[in-house]
Chain A
Amino acid sequence: MISIRNLCIELGDFVLRDACLDIEDREYMVIVGPSGSGKTVLLESIAGLYPVKRGEVWLRGCDATVLKPEHRHVSIVYQDYSLFTHISAEKNILFGMRMRGMEKDEMKKSLDKMVDLFNISHLLSRKPSTLSGGEQQKIALARALCVSPDVLLLDEPLSSLDPGTREDIEQELRNLHRELTVTILHVTHNFEEAIALGDRIAVIGGGKIMQVGTPEDIFRRPNSEFVARFAMARNIFYGRVVLSDRGDHMFKTGDSCFLIEKGRKGDRMVIRPEDIMVYPFNDGKNNNGKNCFPGTINRINDKGSTLFVDVDIGIPVTALVTRHACRESGLRTGMRVKISCDPGSLHIFQE
């Protein structure tokens, strides 16, 4: 288990503030955040590459705060794979074992295991500069894993790949995690990647860990406006919870009131765009539904298979519709429409 307790790191103007994070053995944890949020610094400080100003890093139940990187049993794989360009792929893989003074037989056995796992026997004699991105990644992963680390740290491993390759490598990472039962700490700025891979996700922003939870928690129940925006919730409203004349719990924002589930408290409401339905105004459906509001389409933002539809209902809301649904309903800019959303899909929180 990795335990980070109130960790503070100062690097010039950047400060990682009071980071707290517990990662279970064999867990796939993804740290996600925008550029410059401190996610790589957090990763590298777990590897012991920065002096700690305050706080503690515990690895395998031992205080490793001042332990040197070579004694931590963690391996790191960077975005550009950082292979040693002056030696062959095979020597890259053997590097860690040589540095740890392992026996030749042991090294050979470990190398063979990695060669089988990644199917890289044909790449061993080649220099890294002659390998493709995918091949370099395999060598980098093999190099990191053949020293049997307790934790594998991955710094944006998919960000330089095209979308097709990215999906393949995502699947490979999942398989790798399952087969090797290694703890993985994966850093990315891509929220979808985090959702796809993480057992749990930590969202980091401005040097601070904002929320830690399952993908469902982060996606459905963000605890702050920052996390909600990062999770692409788009519809974030300021207001307050009120009781209607009939005793219903409502979230009042501007002149609009949304019916919400009982017991919800807070001054922010989040509605995910995919939870908002959009209908032509006169189609006769759902006229009496809860949280049904008339409005006008202000803009349609085409994203290919899906479209973001901005609707003015007195307040601006954004709905996500499929291309098929958009065509079926004949949605277009300036059209009068109705929107509706289920009270259960509205998330209320206190900033």
Chain B
Amino acid sequence: MGEYNRIKRTFEVSDKKRRQSIRGFYLTNEWLKWLFFILSLLILIFISLPVFKMIYSSSPSILLNSFLDPEVTKSILLTLYSALIATLIGFLLGVPLAYLMAKTDFPGKKLVEGLIDLPIVIPHSAAGIALLFIFGRKYLLGRIMNSLGITFLDSLAGIVIAMLFVSVPFLIDSAREGFEKVDPRLENVARTLGATHFQTFVHVSFPLAWRSIIAGMIMMWARGMSEFGAVIIIAYHPMIAPVLVYEKFETYGLNYARPIAVILIIISMTVFVVLRFLLYRKDK
């Protein structure tokens, strides 16, 4: 959940809202302020140093060569669009669940809450093995889908379900929070003005929760892109970028893995920064 909260904050809380949240209470104790400042600096250095060191110590020409390598380009594109497909499936199936969780009470709701967050807390390699037991050729869904011509082992479909499994909680939790924030009185007003429940969802609840849903989709996409453990179990091939980094590292060593890792980091960071900028600009 820590990881979820970290990424969620990156996207959802704008600077304006952050400023509002400290209004009325300021840290005036100088000692405490400095102590917290130093501790904060340590963790920020710990997070940023390995990333920036790796980017800084990579030569641009090697990076460009790696980027032009068809194997690398293909794996990065595969990573991007398989994560996108997983996100779109997550959107279709996750948003209705998020709405139900936010707007209804039912027996076993706590259990469902726990179930939604399950993929976050279990080791991802274990998640991959668990998925194999459902989507493997010999098992329940795998056999049915195989008869329809869809295989999950070593295929795009396998990558997508692995990404979907590990990253969909980010979308559901964020969308749920978005729906919970929609004032029920707005929905009540819409109903009394003549909107059916479905129209209220389409014209009021969904547009008002849209930013949280988008934030959740970005988080899900980013998390899907970075997935390794579950994907490597279910679909080593075709290789997504994190698997390619691992394979280059195992086969040729650090120097061959690094440029691909750097490209992956740059793309991920660019996506994060651009989307955050777009969200922030809209917030203003």
Instruction: Please name the 6 residue pairs, one residue from A and one from B, whose CB atoms are nearest each other, closest first.
Output: A96-B193, A69-B191, A99-B194, A100-B194, A99-B195, A82-B185
Instruction: Report 28 cross-chain contacts, Cβ distance below 8 Å, ordered by A residue.
Output: A47-B192, A48-B191, A49-B192, A68-B191, A70-B194, A70-B195, A75-B192, A75-B193, A76-B188, A80-B185, A82-B183, A82-B186, A82-B189, A84-B204, A84-B208, A85-B208, A86-B207, A86-B208, A86-B210, A95-B190, A95-B193, A95-B195, A96-B195, A99-B193, A99-B194, A100-B194, A147-B193, A153-B192
The answer to whether A70 and B208 have CB atoms under 8 Å apart is: no
Q: How far is the CA of A147 from the CA of B183 in the complex (A)?
A: 22
* A44 contacts B by Cβ under 8 Å: yes
Contacts of B210 in A (CB 8 A): 86
Across the two chains, which residue of chain B brings its CB closest to A86?
A: B207
Q: Which residues of B contact A85 (CB under 8 A)?
A: 208
The yes or no answer to A238 lying at the interface (CB within 8 A) is no
Q: Which residues of B contact A74 (CB under 8 A)?
A: 192
If A84-B208, A95-B203 are given as contacts, then 15 extra A-B residue pairs at C-beta distance below 8 Å, sorted by A number, are A48-B191, A49-B191, A49-B192, A69-B188, A69-B192, A70-B196, A74-B192, A75-B192, A76-B188, A78-B188, A82-B188, A84-B186, A99-B193, A143-B189, A153-B192
Measured as residues with beta carbon below 8 angstroms from the partner, the interface class of chain A is 20 to 34
Q: Which residues of A contact B10 (CB under 8 A)?
A: none
Bound CA span A48–B186, Å: 15
B270 at the interface (CB under 8 A from A): no
Segment 54-74 of A: residues with Cβ below 8 Å from B:
68-70, 72, 74
**Interface members, chain B 197-229 (any A CB < 8 Å):** 199, 203-204, 207-208, 210
A49 CA to B184 CA in the complex, in Å? 11
Interface string of A72-110 (1 = CB under 8 A from B): 101111101010111100000001100110000000000
Check B191–A78 contact: CB distance below 8 A: no
Nearest chain B CB to A130's CB is how many angstroms away?
13
Give the interface residue-count category, chain B: 10 to 19
Q: How far is the CB of A81 from chain B (nearest CB, A)?
A: 9
Contact with A along B169-197 (1 / 0, CB 8 A): 00000000000000101101111111110
CA gap between A87 and B208 in the complex, in Å? 10
B241 to chain A: closest CB distance in Å? 37
Main secondary structure of the interface of B (DSSP, over half): helix
State the Cβ distance, B1 to closest chain A Cβ, in Å.
28
Whether A72 contacts B192 in the complex (CB less than 8 A), given A78-B185, A82-B183, comes out as: yes
Closest approach, in angstroms, between the C-beta of B151 and any C-beta of chain A? 43
Chain A residues with CB under 8 A of B183: 82
Docked pose: A77 CA to B204 CA in angstroms: 16
Which chain B residue has the least Cβ–Cβ distance from A69? Answer: B191
Q: Which A residues are CB-close (under 8 A) to B204?
A: 84
Chain A residues closer than 8 Å to B190, beta-carbon distance? 84, 95, 99
Bound-state Cα–Cα, A153 to B189, Å: 11
Shortest B195–chain A CB gap in Å is: 4
Residues of A within 8 A of B194 (CB): 70, 96, 99-100, 147
Q: Digit string of A142-173 for contact with B (CB within 8 Å is 1, else 0)?
A: 01100101000100000000000000000000
Establish whether residues B189 and A70, one from each chain, have CB atoms under 8 Å apart when the complex forms.
Answer: no
CB neighbours (8 Å) of B195 from chain A are 70, 95-96, 99
Complex Cα distance, B204 from A47, in Å, reads 18
Find chain B residues with CB under 8 A from A96 CB. 193-195
**Residues in B neighbouring A72, C-beta threshold 8 A:** 192
Chain B residues whose C-beta falls within 8 Å of the C-beta of A49 in the assembled complex: 188, 191-192
Contact A44 B199 (CB under 8 A): no
**A275 to B199 alpha-carbon distance, docked (Å):** 56
In the assembled complex, the CB of A78 is this many whole angstroms from the nearest CB of chain B, namely 5
Structural contact, B192 and A76, CB atoms closer than 8 A: yes
In Å, the complex CA distance between A95 and B190 comes to 8
B202 to chain A minimum Cβ distance, whole angstroms, is 10
A82: B residues at CB distance < 8 A: 183, 185-186, 188-189
Bound-state CA distance A96–B189 (Å) is 9
- The smallest beta-carbon distance between A104 and chain B, in angstroms, is 16
A85 to B188, CA, bound (A): 15
Interface contact A47-B193, CB-CB below 8 Å:
no
Interface centre among B193, B195, B207 (most CB of A within 10 A): B193
Interface residues of B in 90-106 (CB under 8 A from A): none
A76 pairs with B189, CB closer than 8 A: yes
- A48-B197 Cα distance, complex, nearest whole Å: 13
What residue in chain B is nearest A95 (Cβ atoms)? Answer: B193
Q: Is there an interface contact between B185 and A70, defined as CB atoms closer than 8 Å?
A: no
Which of B186, B191, B204 lies at the interface centre, i.e. has the most chain A CB atoms within 10 A of its CB?
Answer: B191
Which residues of the other chain, B, contact A68 by a CB distance below 8 angstroms? 191, 196
* B208, closest chain A residue (CB): A86
Q: What's the nearest-Cβ distance from chain B to residue A119, in Å? A: 22
- Give A78 to B188 CA distance when docked, in angstroms: 10
CB distance from B221 to the nearest CB of A (A): 24
Give the complex CA separation of A143 and B204 in angstroms.
15
Distance between Cα atoms of A151 and B95 in the complex (Å):
35
0/1 interface trace, chain A 110-154, chain B, CB 8 Å (1 if under)? 000000000000000000000000000000000110010100010
CB-CB under 8 A from A44, the residues of chain B are 188
> Are A143 and B193 CB-contacts (below 8 A) given A82-B186, A84-B186?
yes
Distance between Cα atoms of A90 and B186 in the complex (Å): 16
Residue of B nearest to A71 (CB): B194
Chain A: minimal CB distance from B209 (Å) = 10
Contact mask A332-345 → B, CB, 8 Å, 1/0? Answer: 00000000000000
Which partner residue on chain A sits nearest B189 by CB separation? A82
Q: Which of B185, B196, B203 has the most CB of A within 10 A?
A: B185
Question: A80: which B residues are within 8 A, CB to CB?
Answer: 185
> Which residues of the other chain, A, contact B188 by a CB distance below 8 angstroms?
44, 47, 49, 69, 76, 78, 82
